[in-house]
Amino acid sequence: MDINRAKQIYDSEATIKVHLDDGDSVWIENVDEANGMATVQVGGNPINTKTVSVDRLQER
Protein backbone atom coordinates (compact mmCIF):
# COMPACT_ATOMS: atom_id res chain seq x y z
CA MET A 1 0.00 0.00 0.00
CA ASP A 2 1.24 3.51 -0.59
CA ILE A 3 1.34 6.23 2.06
CA ASN A 4 -1.53 8.20 0.51
CA ARG A 5 -3.92 5.22 0.62
CA ALA A 6 -2.92 4.43 4.22
CA LYS A 7 -3.73 8.04 5.15
CA GLN A 8 -7.09 7.84 3.31
CA ILE A 9 -8.02 4.68 5.21
CA TYR A 10 -6.93 6.22 8.51
CA ASP A 11 -9.02 9.36 7.85
CA SER A 12 -12.06 7.43 6.58
CA GLU A 13 -15.19 6.96 8.67
CA ALA A 14 -15.80 3.66 6.88
CA THR A 15 -14.42 0.35 8.15
CA ILE A 16 -11.89 -0.84 5.60
CA LYS A 17 -10.25 -4.24 5.99
CA VAL A 18 -6.46 -4.06 6.13
CA HIS A 19 -3.98 -6.87 6.69
CA LEU A 20 -0.25 -7.10 7.20
CA ASP A 21 1.74 -9.04 4.62
CA ASP A 22 1.84 -11.95 7.12
CA GLY A 23 -1.98 -12.17 7.06
CA ASP A 24 -2.76 -10.54 10.42
CA SER A 25 -5.82 -8.30 10.42
CA VAL A 26 -4.92 -4.78 11.58
CA TRP A 27 -6.49 -1.42 12.39
CA ILE A 28 -4.48 1.67 11.40
CA GLU A 29 -4.01 3.89 14.46
CA ASN A 30 -1.56 6.44 13.07
CA VAL A 31 0.25 7.25 9.82
CA ASP A 32 3.72 8.82 9.81
CA GLU A 33 3.80 10.33 6.32
CA ALA A 34 7.35 11.67 6.62
CA ASN A 35 8.80 8.20 7.29
CA GLY A 36 6.33 6.00 5.40
CA MET A 37 5.35 4.16 8.58
CA ALA A 38 2.06 3.27 10.25
CA THR A 39 1.20 2.26 13.79
CA VAL A 40 -1.33 -0.56 13.68
CA GLN A 41 -3.37 -2.51 16.22
CA VAL A 42 -3.10 -6.23 15.50
CA GLY A 43 -6.15 -8.48 15.66
CA GLY A 44 -8.41 -6.17 17.64
CA ASN A 45 -6.16 -6.30 20.72
CA PRO A 46 -5.58 -2.70 21.87
CA ILE A 47 -2.31 -3.56 23.64
CA ASN A 48 -0.87 -5.40 20.61
CA THR A 49 0.45 -2.57 18.43
CA LYS A 50 3.25 -2.49 15.89
CA THR A 51 4.91 0.23 13.85
CA VAL A 52 5.41 -1.05 10.32
CA SER A 53 6.25 0.23 6.87
CA VAL A 54 3.08 1.05 4.92
CA ASP A 55 4.52 -1.24 2.21
CA ARG A 56 3.56 -4.16 4.49
CA LEU A 57 -0.13 -3.15 4.54
CA GLN A 58 -2.64 -4.70 2.16
CA GLU A 59 -6.23 -3.67 1.61
CA ARG A 60 -8.72 -6.52 1.33
12-41 residues labelled b (16+ CB within 10 A) or e (exposed):
eeeeeebeeeeeeebbbeebeeeeebbbbb
CATH code for residues 3-59: 2.30.30
Domain-wise residue ranges, the chain = 3-59
Q: Is the pLDDT of residue 44 over 90?
A: no
Average pLDDT score over residue span 17-24: 95
pLDDT tens digit sequence for 2-17 = 999 999 999 999 999 9
Q: How confident is the model at residue 28 (pLDDT cuts 50, 70, 90)?
A: very high
